Amino acid sequence: MSKHIFAGILIGCLLLFATGCTVGDDPTKETSETPTESATESATSVGPTAETESETEADLRTEDFVLLFTGNVCNAVNRNIGFAGLSALKQEVESEAKYVLLADLGNLLAEPQESAGFESTPALRNFVMGAMGIVPYDYAVPGSRDLSLLKTEDLSNLAVYSGAKLLSANIQYSGIYSEISGSFETFVMETCGERKIALIGIMMPEPEDEDALKEDGETVLSFLADQGADFFYQMMQIYIEECRVRGAEKVILLTHMGNDPANAPFTVDELVQRTTGVTAVLDGRLTAIESRTVMNAANEPVPVSGSGSELTSVGKLVISADGTVEITEISNYTKKDEEAQALIDELQ
């Protein structure tokens, strides 16, 4: 879908929602009894098809799988690299590699560090989520601040407005907005030529804002922490192994956990230490984009990286055709996609 078509549909949706129609206008009760019931596979193929390649000249792009990733964007649609810069970067990488995706790892809607006078309004949140679709983002793992702002009432709007698939292996919902359960995938399997690469999303197990988990005073949203750390990590291991059984050569965890001791035992380092079969972990609560090594349960090294802050930089994970994994930081990127910027300005 072209940026123009997406923007036209999106603007129509925003106008509709502005008149008072929301995702939950006609809610029905839906309950997941066990975490495994939410486990689904979304098999997608990223990159060129045989048909498109046959109609063009030889494709000289590499066979690399590239995942660009952001975190703690904090409404920086038009600041720093910005979404127009992100769109230009994604197109640039797509011209070099066949298999390219973009994911956000949470706190997209959080207040910026310089937050004096900042107010997160529904209109601003809808604008930011809509601008995601112009870039476009492919996947998103909502962060704790996103959840606090959207609450259950508007959580599924993140998928509606952005067009991105939401990932979470640990979300458990039993409230009235049935769209929430349908908006999330436990994991996705990306087909890259003859390879399969799995992406598993993990949201913050214990969000700070307990009110965001409730409807009419009753807790309806949880992320498995209430069932204990052993159960939580056992379930994450089950999903990792399921991806491997389905043919994934690499398994990437897209998380929003961080390493704050106050959140122990639910930290990204402990996630690695208590599992096996993970290729790399990209976390939305850590800000340093790096390739820090953490040893897993089998005493094997796993690279762990944060995801930046306010689009001052963008993370780039590359899995080469030979299986080599590299994580780098892209900063001081100044190119802008003028078409994307025009659509963002029109959306605003």
29: confidence class by pLDDT, cuts 50, 70, 90: very low
Residues 155-178 pLDDT 10s: 999 999 999 999 999 999 999 999
114: confidence class by pLDDT, cuts 50, 70, 90: confident
270: confidence class by pLDDT, cuts 50, 70, 90: very high
Q: What is the CATH number of the domain that holds 121?
A: 3.60.21.10
The total number of structural domains in the chain stands at: 1
- pLDDT at residue 50 is higher than 80: no
Taking the C-alpha atoms of residue 123 and residue 318, their distance in angstroms, rounded to an integer, is 36
- pLDDT at residue 36 is higher than 50: no
10 three-class SS:
helix
H or E stretch covering 214 = strand 214-215
Taking the C-alpha atoms of residue 188 and residue 246, their distance in angstroms, rounded to an integer, is 11
* Range in 50-59, 138-147, 179-188 with the lowest mean pLDDT: 50-59
* Range in 44-53, 103-112, 209-218 with the lowest mean pLDDT: 44-53
Mean pLDDT calculated for residue range 310-314: 97
Which among 253, 314, 322, 257 has a CA at the least distance from the CA of 284? 257
Residues 122-159 pLDDT 10s: 999 999 999 999 999 999 999 999 999 999 999 999 99
Mean pLDDT calculated for residue range 199-225: 96
The residue segments making up the domain with residue 166 are: 3-347
For residues 100 and 94, is the Cβ–Cβ distance under 8 A?
A: yes
Mean pLDDT calculated for residue range 30-54: 50
Residues 228-253 pLDDT 10s: 999 999 999 999 999 999 999 999 99
Q: What percent of the chain has pLDDT over 90?
A: 79
72 burial (CB, 10 Å; 0-12 / 13-18 / 19+) is buried
- pLDDT at residue 18 is higher than 80: no
pLDDT of residue 45: 67
- pLDDT at residue 198 is higher than 70: yes
59: confidence class by pLDDT, cuts 50, 70, 90: confident
pLDDT of residue 12: 52
pLDDT of residue 24: 34
Phi-psi sector, 307: left (phi>0), alpha (psi -120 to 50), beta: alpha
What value, to the nearest 5°, has the Cα angle with vertex 139 and ends 136 and 141?
A: 130
Mean pLDDT calculated for residue range 30-55: 50
* Range in 112-116, 259-263, 279-283 with the lowest mean pLDDT: 112-116
Number of Cβ within 10 Å of residue 95's Cβ equals 10
